[in-house]
Amino acid sequence: MISAEVSTRAQFYDLDPMQVVWHGNYARYLEQARCALLDRIGYNYPEMASSGYVFPIVDLHVKYVRPIRFGQSIRITATLVEYENRIRIDYRIHDEPSGDLLTKARTVQLAVKEDGAELCFECPAVFTDKVRALL
């Protein structure tokens, strides 16, 4: 399948009182990798909007394997695993220097006509054609 990855470093403002990255901030890390993946496909949020669709996230699952700490360099990989009826992306967050797995996650997005009037049970051809061109 198609993958993309980004690297970042945990910042002080990401931390909770226990001095590890607050669980809610993981969604931001996933978003960075998801945007890199959608850029690679050529169908990021501006292209979605201009094609008349939005793709809200309808499911998010995160498995915290090990905590991320202040200053830690991490690599977030996003992999497209489903694209015909929905967009399902699997994520892995690794410690950059060691490669140790820190987090597993997945998101599911569904296509909705931009006016919100119609939920689509298939992804639009403008998206699936771009994916197939990369496979």
Q: What pLDDT, in 10s, does the model give residues 67-118?
A: 999 999 999 999 999 999 999 999 999 999 999 999 999 999 999 998 877 8
Is the pLDDT at 39 greater than 90, yes or no? yes
Q: Quote the pLDDT of residue 8.
A: 98
Q: Quote the pLDDT of residue 115.
A: 81
The band of 20, judged by pLDDT with boundaries at 50, 70 and 90, is very high
Q: What backbone torsions phi and psi does residue 130 show, to the nearest 5 degrees?
A: -65, -40
Q: Quote the pLDDT of residue 23.
A: 95
Domain positions in the chain are: 2-133
- CA-nearest of 45, 57, 55, 39 to 130 is 39
Tell me the average pLDDT across 110-134.
Answer: 92
Query: What is the third-level CATH fold of 2-133?
Result: Thiol Ester Dehydrase; Chain A (3.10.129)
Mapping DSSP onto H, E and C, the string for 66-131 reads: CCCECCCEEEEEEEEEECCCCEEEEEEEEECCCCCEEEEEEEEECCEECCCCCECCCCCHHHHHHH
What does the block give as tokens for 103? 């987090």
